[in-house]
Chains A and B, each alone.
Chain A
Amino acid sequence: MLTTDLKLNSDHVNIVECHDVSLTRNTTEVLCEASCCIPRNSLTFIVGENGTGKSSLALTILGLLPGNDGLICLHSQSSREPVLGYVPQSIDFPKQFKLTVSEYLQYSAEVKNSEIEATLARVDFPLNHIASQITQLSGGQVQKLLLAAELYRKPDVLFLDEPLANVDDSSEKHIIDVILEIRNQGVTIAIITHDWNMVSNYADHVICLNKNFACTSTSACLCKNSLSKVNIKNIQKVTPDPEHMHDGFCYIENI
């Protein structure tokens, strides 16, 4: 059974730690004894091939999937539970739900009327769409709206699933700047992505999943198919021994 352990007033270097987390969905083993960590105030990337369990790992940490086994530790620096945020890759809004952009912000993050424009401007959302229905927005605009709402909630850890997937080139830079800015403000960011340029340019920490395992290794790790294409510097820690990486977990940290 998966256990979540909440440690309050903890200055632990990692805000999230997963120990031997296993997850089975519809009889398919998605995660097998995966262990990894998300360092506090870091920009962590969760990478791996399709079907390796990247989103499942994030959803398990968020408490949205009931893991079968293992331990997840959440270290909060304050006396309250850490606020977790999540921006899914896309949302298929029900067409019969006539929610406007401003109404979405009010309901999802309780944004005050007077703060709606500033909240949207932060993620470069076009302000002439404030009264538009969310079903009429483009994929990139939806992504920005979801990000704006989550940022308003001031999360301690924010999980972003492919945040640049539907965003045009001009907005891409702005969203990356926003992500870096909020990381510098003390928010821990975990990004699920296939964008290796982003990983090589901005990662503080990488969790690399391969098949059922989260693997720790050097540049010659199980993610070599992708990692070999980019220049990731200063991989300092390898756990466990790369010789045994197929039998356990592996992740790359301190890039």
Chain B
Amino acid sequence: MFSISFMQRAFIGSFLLSITYGLYGMFIIPRKIGFMADGISHASLLGIAVGLSIGINPLLPALLLAAFLGFLLAYSADSSKVTSDGLIGIFLSGGMSGAIIIMAFMPGYKPDLFSYLFGNLLSIQNVDIYALVVFTIFSIIGFILQWRALVISTIHLDLSKVINLPTTQSKYFLFIGMSIGLILGVKLLGVILISALLITPVMTANQIATSFKGTFIITQLIGFFATFAGIILSYSLDLPPGPTIALLLVAIFVFSLLQSKLSS
């Protein structure tokens, strides 16, 4: 299994995704915008549909669309007239509707679409891995530079500004970076389930950890374990990788929740 090239790509890709998603998830969950991951990924289906219909790599228009939506969400995050969750709901329904309408105009069976919906180990190419490597490096550097601003602005926006931390810059980094990251993980987990890797490891770590540092370490370990084990199961049992990884993550979360309740 480990000598097969597409499995090697899947393992490398999942390792990189678990690192970056763990980092973004650490700040997405406390800000109560976990739903944003679902909204962006579902809306990006419109970009995938456009790509499939005009015959280009569907991830390119999906990336552009996701980055744009991430920018809009960051821009409107402090607005008193537009709430983030409302805007995410609009993106989600608008994007999905647009994608379905475009698909309706495309004749015949659309096997590619199912790969993007639920993930497909075979579909991960070298170029996807290169893109993930670049994105992981970009994300890690970004988090190193913005870490303090992200932590303090998550707690209290005004305090972060008084301390002169780059609060606005860190917000755009978080929103746009996460949106791009979601699209780069679509081939592994699929549009429908991509948010599971962003949300569930952090939620699980929160049941166990007693410090911020602890949350970080446990999030990374759970993300890595679930994707690694999920890919092995997916290959062995001939299951789609997205639902397999998502189910594993949910199982770990339920276990941690029960363990946490019992110990308290």
Interface of A with B (CB < 8 Å)?
A: 26, 59, 62-64, 84-86, 88, 91, 93-94, 96-100, 103-104, 107-110, 131, 133-134, 146, 153
* Cβ contact within 8 Å between B155 and A63: no
Contacts of B31 in A (CB 8 A): 94
Q: Is residue B158 contacting chain A, with contact meaning CB distance below 8 A? A: yes
Q: Is residue B29 contacting chain A, with contact meaning CB distance below 8 A? A: yes
Q: Which of B147-202 contact A (CB under 8 A)?
A: 147-148, 151-152, 154-156, 158-159, 161-163, 202
* Cβ contact within 8 Å between A96 and B30: yes
* Cβ contact within 8 Å between A91 and B161: no
Give, as a whole number of angstroms, the nearest-CB distance from B131 to chain A.
30
Q: Which of B49-57, B115-123, B205-213 lies at the interface with chain A?
A: B205-213
* Cβ contact within 8 Å between B212 and A99: yes
Q: Is residue B215 contacting chain A, with contact meaning CB distance below 8 A? A: yes
Select which of A84, A86, A99, A100 is within 8 A of B155 by beta carbon: A99
Contacts of A91 in B (CB 8 A): 155-156, 159
Select which of B147, B156, B212 is within 8 A of A98 by beta carbon: B212
Supply 17 further A-B pairs (C-beta < 8 A) apart from A86-B158, A96-B206, A107-B151: A62-B162, A63-B161, A91-B155, A91-B156, A91-B159, A94-B30, A94-B31, A96-B30, A97-B212, A98-B206, A98-B211, A99-B151, A99-B211, A103-B212, A104-B155, A131-B211, A134-B155
* Cβ contact within 8 Å between A64 and B162: yes
Can you name the residue of chain B whose Cβ is closest to the Cβ of A109? B163
Q: Is residue B80 contacting chain A, with contact meaning CB distance below 8 A? A: yes
* Cβ contact within 8 Å between A94 and B155: yes
Contacts of B163 in A (CB 8 A): 108-109, 153
Contacts of A131 in B (CB 8 A): 210-211
Contacts of B32 in A (CB 8 A): 94
Can you name the residue of chain A whose Cβ is closest to the Cβ of B80? A26
Contacts of B147 in A (CB 8 A): 107
Q: Is residue B214 contacting chain A, with contact meaning CB distance below 8 A? A: yes
Select which of A26, A59, A98 is within 8 A of B210 by beta carbon: A98
Give, as a whole number of angstroms, the nearest-CB distance from B25 to chain A.
10
* Cβ contact within 8 Å between A133 and B151: no
Contacts of A104 in B (CB 8 A): 155
Q: From known contacts A99-B212, A103-B211, A107-B148, infer whether A88 and B156 are also in contact, taking CB-CB under 8 Å.
A: yes
A and B contact pairs by CB, cutoff 8 A, 26 listed: A26-B80, A62-B158, A62-B162, A64-B162, A86-B159, A88-B156, A88-B158, A91-B155, A94-B32, A96-B203, A96-B206, A97-B30, A97-B154, A98-B210, A99-B151, A100-B211, A100-B212, A103-B211, A104-B155, A107-B148, A107-B151, A107-B152, A110-B148, A131-B211, A133-B210, A133-B211
Contacts of B203 in A (CB 8 A): 96
* Cβ contact within 8 Å between B162 and A84: yes
Contacts of A100 in B (CB 8 A): 210-212
* Cβ contact within 8 Å between B155 and A97: yes
Give, as a whole number of angstroms, the nearest-CB distance from B82 to chain A.
14
Contacts of B155 in A (CB 8 A): 91, 93-94, 97, 99, 104, 134
